[in-house]
Amino acid sequence: MKRFSKSRLLLALTFVITSGLFWHSLTAQTRLSPKFGFVYPDFSTDLAPLSLRAQGAGGSTIGLDLRIERRRLFLHPGIHFQSIRTDLDNPLSASPLPGEQTKIRSLKLPLQVGGYVTGDASFIRLHLKGGLVPEWTTGVKPTDRLNLERDRVEDVQWGWCLGAGADFLLLTVDFRYDFGLSPLFTDSGDRKNMATISIGLIL
């Protein structure tokens, strides 16, 4: 019940922020930023009922961001499709099996606010940003022996993030670190933190 109420509260907050972004976009310059990047998840969880250990092992992301700019400030919503490689083994089992690797796929909708550190005339334009990161699990790749079932992964995860980036002509390079606010797995209270490095265009 508490989990359900918290999810509804965060979804309501996301709706309010999205509405604010739409209103702000009517009076500001909007730029598109398609991106591709790599993710480095930080989690290692023992799922006791399964005698299974799951550990983050890297991954990739692709998506589209918006920059809704007004002077040196901007709103920064996005939509990203993400795939995280996850190593599986069962060292706690009486008969351990060879390790395997699965992929946890998800859809992320980061909602950030940022500001430019340097002005328009700068050769390289630096910016800082941060905000809320809701994430919806879309699938888990099956494996042959150590199967991590889809219902063992939470449907919705929440986090907050801090990041920085640099623009050069039409190119942008970004670094972001996500701090988990809710559990990744239904059988564990462990949260997922993650670093993301991406490169893209500013159109």
What does the pLDDT read at residue 148?
84
Pairing mode of beta strands 193-201, 29-42: antiparallel
Least confident of 124-138, 143-157, 163-177: 143-157
Residue 188 has pLDDT above 60, yes or no: yes
Q: Give per-residue pLDDT as tens, 114-143.
A: 999 987 767 889 999 999 999 999 999 988
pLDDT, position 9: 58
pLDDT for position 45: 85
Under 8 Å between Cβ of 149 and 141: no
3-26 average pLDDT score: 57
- Neighbouring C-beta atoms of residue 9, cutoff 10 Å: 10
Q: What confidence score (pLDDT) does residue 135 get?
A: 94
The percentage of the chain sitting over the pLDDT mark of 90, rounded to a whole number, equals 50
Output 45 or 105, whichever has higher pLDDT.
105
Band of pLDDT at residue 20, cut at 50, 70 and 90: low
Q: How many domains does the chain have?
A: 1
pLDDT value, residue 49: 64
Residue 63's Cβ-count burial label (10 Å; 0-12, 13-18, 19+) is: buried
Residue 69 token pair = 């700019």
Mean pLDDT of 180-187: 89
Residue 28 tokens read as: 């500001």
Locate 119 and state its tokens.
């002005």
Residues 6 or more apart from 102 whose CB is under 8 A from it? 85, 86, 88, 140, 141, 142, 143, 148
What is the Cα–Cα distance from 131 to 110, expressed in whole angstroms? 7
- Block residue for tokens 């972001």: 176
Nearest to 68, CA basis, from 31, 35, 114, 23: 31
How confident is the model at residue 16, as a pLDDT?
57
Query: Which range of residues forms the domain containing residue 70?
Result: 2-201
pLDDT confidence band for 144 (50 / 70 / 90): confident
> What is the DSSP track for 98-143?
--EEEEEEEEE--EEEEEESS-TT-SSEEEEEEEEEEEEEEEE---
Domain CATH code at residue 88:
2.40.160.20
Average pLDDT over all residues of the chain: 84
